[in-house]
Amino acid sequence: MADSSGLQFVSSFAFEAMQKVDVVRLAALSDPELRLLLPCLVRMALCAPADQSQTWAQDKKLILRLLSGVEAVNSIVALLSVDFHALEQDARKEQQLRHKAGGSNGESILVSQLQHGLTLEFEHSDPLRRLRLALSELLVIMNKVSDSNGEFFLKSSELFESSVYLEEVADVLCILQAETMAIAIVTRC
Would you state the pLDDT for residue 182? 61
Would you state the pLDDT for residue 76? 96
Q: What totals of helices (H) and strands (E) does the chain contain, helices first?
A: 9, 2
Would you state the pLDDT for residue 17? 94
Would you state the pLDDT for residue 100? 76
CB 21 within 8 A of CB 53: no
CB 61 within 8 A of CB 24: no
| Res 3 pLDDT > 60 | no
What is the tens place of the pLDDT at every residue in 104-113?
A: 555 676 777 7
What is the tens place of the pLDDT at every residue in 68-87?
A: 989 999 999 999 999 998 99
Would you state the pLDDT for residue 184? 57
- Comparison of pLDDT for 40 and 157, the residue scoring more: 40
Question: Mean pLDDT of all residues in the chain?
Answer: 84
Would you state the pLDDT for residue 4? 43
Average pLDDT, stretch 130-155? 82
